[in-house]
């Protein structure tokens, strides 16, 4: 009798452990990757560690015009590095979006060989926050998702000595009263088996949903020095009429005047 009970208990434990091996704390097991185009990224070690701690399995990085980071990124076993020059075209505002779309579609093909189930596209001044198990537990009918972006606001103008990923508070750009300075339509991800890029903010393929438990924190330009360089680059050959953001337009117009740039930054970014 006791032997029979022991056998039953052993079988129960065996099947419990077998079931648990297919789930991670009650959540499906899967792999999530990030694709990012980077140009002179700040605090990339912090960016990587935050996402590793979150549970990201692999990073696909297109590194443009930043030779000083090549050796470091190549040494990271969870990074697939693509080294490239940024477009020589004058209009960086438009050509960047084209490079993003082309790279995302290229990486989606890589993901299938790397057994990456989901791919998320964010920039090097953006951080994911939340529970990625929400992605792993999405029903099979869902092929793409998007996450609301929250925009960083600072105590004072950040400098090169400040870490990129610190702020006073964050505006929820999904709130129509938030007065976010940049995009408000979030960032997306897709199931690598069926999705493709649909611009810099979305994927397409299958049903799309908005995630409830994940957001994207956006630290636009990271600090004042990077802000100056960004808008000097964007100013080359750009048609201001196609840029929907007043902050961008004012920054481009002020690109050669430090005092005017500081005024723009303070009005839009500091509280």
User: d(Cα 250, Cα 231) in Å, to the nearest integer?
Assistant: 10
Q: Are strands 32-39 and 118-121 parallel, antiparallel or unpaired?
A: parallel
Local structure of 259: helix, strand or coil: helix
Domains of the chain with bracketed CATH: 23-218 (3.90.550.10), 224-269 (no CATH)
With a CB cutoff of 8 Å and minimum separation 6, the contacts of 87 are 95, 96, 98, 99
3-state secondary structure 183-214: CCCCEEEEECCCCEECCCCCEECCEEEEEEEE
Q: pTM of this prediction?
A: 0.86
The tens digit of pLDDT for each residue in 173-225 reads: 999 999 999 999 999 999 999 999 999 999 999 999 999 999 999 999 999 99
pLDDT confidence tier of residue 10, bands split at 50, 70 and 90: very low
The tens digit of pLDDT for each residue in 103-130 reads: 999 999 999 999 999 999 999 999 999 9
First to last CA, the chain: 74
3-state secondary structure 12-78: HHHHHHHHHHCEECCEECCCEEEEEEEECCCCHHHHHHHHHHHCCCEEEEEEECCHHHHHHHHCCCC
**What number is the average pLDDT over the span 62-86?**
96
pLDDT > 50? residue 17:
no
């Amino acid at each position: 009798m006791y032997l029979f009970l022991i056998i039953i208990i052993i079988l129960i434990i065996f099947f419990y452990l077998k079931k648990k091996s297919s789930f991670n704390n009650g959540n499906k097991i899967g792999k999530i990757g990030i694709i990012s185009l980077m140009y002179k990224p700040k605090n990339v070690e912090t960016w990587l560690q935050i996402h590793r701690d979150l549970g990201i399995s692999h990073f696909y990085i297109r590194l443009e015009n930043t030779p000083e980071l090549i050796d470091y990124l190549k040494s990271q076993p969870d990074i697939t590095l693509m080294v490239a020059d940024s477009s020589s075209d004058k209009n960086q505002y438009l050509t960047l979006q084209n490079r993003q779309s082309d790279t995302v579609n290229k990486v989606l093909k890589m993901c299938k060989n790397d057994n990456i189930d989901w791919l998320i596209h964010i920039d090097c001044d953006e951080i994911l926050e939340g529970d990625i198990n929400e992605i792993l537990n999405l029903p099979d009918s869902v092929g793409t998702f998007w996450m609301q972006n929250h925009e960083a606001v600072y105590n004072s103008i950040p400098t090169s000595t400040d870490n990129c990923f610190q702020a006073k508070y964050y505006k929820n750009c999904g709130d129509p009263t938030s007065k976010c300075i940049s995009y408000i339509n979030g960032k997306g991800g897709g199931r690598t088996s069926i999705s493709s890029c649909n611009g810099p903010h979305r994927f397409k393929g299958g049903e799309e949903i908005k995630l409830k438990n994940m957001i994207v924190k956006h630290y636009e330009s990271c600090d004042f020095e990077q802000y100056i360089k960004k808008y000097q680059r964007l100013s080359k050959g750009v048609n201001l009429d196609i840029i929907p953001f007043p902050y961008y337009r004012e920054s481009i117009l002020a690109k050669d005047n430090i005092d005017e740039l500081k005024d723009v930054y303070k009005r839009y970014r500091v509280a």
